[in-house]
Amino acid sequence: MAALPVNWNLNAYRGDNWGQTFRLLQADAVTPVDLTGCTVASWAAREGNGQPPVILAVAVGPDPGTVTVKVPTSIPADTYAYDVEVTEPDGSVTTWVRGRLVVDQDVTNRL
């Protein structure tokens, strides 16, 4: 199993309904992580500009261990750092995925 967090870069197109699904696995790389009672969060932040982070929509399931992160259609085109964190019922936090999120400017409907 790879060390956590796993680095995974994403590319999205501004204005599109887009998401990325991750399957979180135990150390055996076969068994899905039990996310029952867990809270999953994902934020994207522009580096060094002082702007507040963009909160990404997160859905857990329907398959065991799966988490889907969706980028808001209104997110400004730019390059962001993002991560996906799981908070367990006991309060412990694990960052599972991190990387760059590049949002390209759309041509149609630029407003």
Q: Is pLDDT of 1 > 60?
A: no
Instruction: Report pLDDT for 2.
Output: 63
Q: What's the mean pLDDT in 3-28?
A: 94
> Phi/psi of residue 82, each to 5°?
-135, 160
Domains in the chain with CATH codes: 17-104 (2.60.40.10)
Q: Which of 51, 37, 47, 49 is nearest to 83 (CA)?
A: 47
Model confidence pLDDT, tens digit, residues 29-45: 999 999 999 999 999 99
